[in-house]
Amino acid sequence: MKTRLFVFSLFIVIVLGMTEQASAFELYSKDFKNGGYIPPLFSCLGKDISPELHWKNPPKDTKSFVLIVEDLDAPGGVFYHWSVYDIPSSVHELKEGTKEYLQGLNDFGNIGYGGPCPPPGKPHRYYFNLYALNMSSLGLTKGATIKAIQEKIRSHILGSAFLFGLFKR
């Protein structure tokens, strides 16, 4: 009897582990594929509006989300293009060109989205990083700096998902 109970328990653990693994936290866009090129519409060469983003399977107990978009190949080091915070856990998308939720100061010196605009040359890598948090609000106002956002989320991250796109001029 104990052997059957152990085998059944082991089966449940394996099945739950496989289910959890199959339903990983994921960020994606209909506008570009992970690892693909970001269309010019979403850059300084186009309308400079944010792409539509969707996510699924956030960690259990998520209370809010934070999105941070960064260019890892900027000449002066990491360049922050967009931050959105205090996104409620019930939300699983940001519409194209969104102005919803609290948005932070980007490295262009503006609040909100600033699309890819690298110098001519090789492609730059843009990471859209979505963080699931165990807190409902960061307690920051509109226009917070990336540093302030990063400090607030540091010990509250339950999980993260990313989408990576390329852009070249």
Residue 167 reports pLDDT greater than 80: yes
Which tens digit of pLDDT belongs to each residue from 107-123?
999 999 999 999 999 99
Residue 18 reports pLDDT greater than 90: no
Residue 70 reports pLDDT greater than 50: yes
Structure confidence at residue 23 as a pLDDT band (50, 70, 90): confident
What DSSP letter does each residue of 79-144 carry, written as one string? EEEEEEEEEETT--EE-TT---SEE-B-TTS-BS-----PPSSSPEEEEEEEEEESSS-----TT-
| Average pLDDT of span 46-50 | 98
Structure confidence at residue 169 as a pLDDT band (50, 70, 90): very high
State residue 142's pLDDT score: 98
Domain boundaries defined on the chain: 2-167
Question: For domain 2-167, which CATH number applies: 3.30.300.130, 3.50.50.60, 3.30.1180.20, 3.90.280.10?
Answer: 3.90.280.10
